[in-house]
Structure 1
């Protein structure tokens, strides 16, 4: 029987623009290699103080809408107490309170159980850090 707990670190280049990066295909690939048809849970964790994980629709504008909403809620200006990095970088440190750095999703028969239009996404507004790590863990 395969291990009940398996984990892997992904290295994701998000670049120097604010971005919503779809990780769904990488999550599905990880499960094909590790879940072996079992039921369980997929946990996605971003070990960064300025990034988060969202389950949203992509490709129809929702990813851009999310970034626009974050601009409204967390303007990139000098109001923030946290003041190193780019102007307004303090807001990036508030982001994980609104877009948490983790998500736990059901896996049924080795497949990620998402709704029709749902995708697993890395949300990164920190233009100072173009390289991110994402930990995928399967418990089943």
Structure 2
């Protein structure tokens, strides 16, 4: 079985946001899968997806702070600033983290580790909703 769907995620403030439950809620077909893969791809260049700590929210705060050091706003060497000072840093963060994740499906559930969750990494100060393309393959 193959299934592909575009999902719209609600707008989030800048930061790292757990979206595991939101994605699961939008994919009731997951429960029908015995074994398979969920591939998640974000259709934006200023946001990204990652898998990381799902329990302690300070991890998400620390991730945001660290990536702001790696790609600071207002760096004098940035030329691409058409959409504001967070524009180029958002593109750099998105490139470093990546646009997709693949998660195994086992017995109708995402087979994530105990402390793992899927994050939307929002790198813009004033972002709109984000679109992800989810593809399920399995039986």
- Alpha-carbon distance in structure 2 between the residues aligned to 1:37 and 1:83: 45
Question: SS in structure 2 opposite 1:126?
Answer: coil
Q: Note if contact 2:86-2:125 (Cα within 8 Å) is conserved in structure 1.
A: no
- Alpha-carbon distance in structure 1 between the residues aligned to 2:122 and 2:38: 21
Question: SS in structure 1 opposite 2:32?
Answer: coil
Q: Which runs of 4+ in 1 moved over 4 A?
A: none
* Correspondence list, 1:60-71, <5 A: 60=56, 61-71=58-68
Question: How high is the TM-score relative to the length of structure 2?
Answer: 0.87
- The answer as to 2:33 corresponding to 1:26 is no
Can you list the C-alpha shifts for 1:106-125, whole angstroms capped at 9, x where unaligned?
11122101111110011011
Can you list the C-alpha shifts for 1:18-67, whole angstroms capped at 9, x where unaligned?
12221111333345424513211100110101110010113511111110
Question: SS in structure 1 opposite 2:79?
Answer: coil
Question: SS in structure 1 opposite 2:60?
Answer: helix
> Which runs of 5 or more residues in structure 1 are unaligned?
none
Question: SS in structure 1 opposite 2:50?
Answer: strand
* Correspondence list, 1:119-138, <5 A: 119-138=117-136
- Alpha-carbon distance in structure 2 between the residues aligned to 1:58 and 1:35: 21
Alignment coverage as a number of residue pairs: 136
Query: 1:58 aligned to 29, 48, 54, which one?
Result: 54
Query: 1:10 aligned to 7, 11, 16, which one?
Result: 7
Offset of residue 135 of structure 1: 1.6
Query: 1:102 aligned to 95, 100, 103, which one?
Result: 100
- Alpha-carbon distance in structure 1 between the residues aligned to 2:62 and 2:73: 16
> Which runs of 5 or more residues in structure 2 are unaligned?
none
Offset of residue 95 of structure 1: 1.5
- Alpha-carbon distance in structure 2 between the residues aligned to 1:85 and 1:66: 23
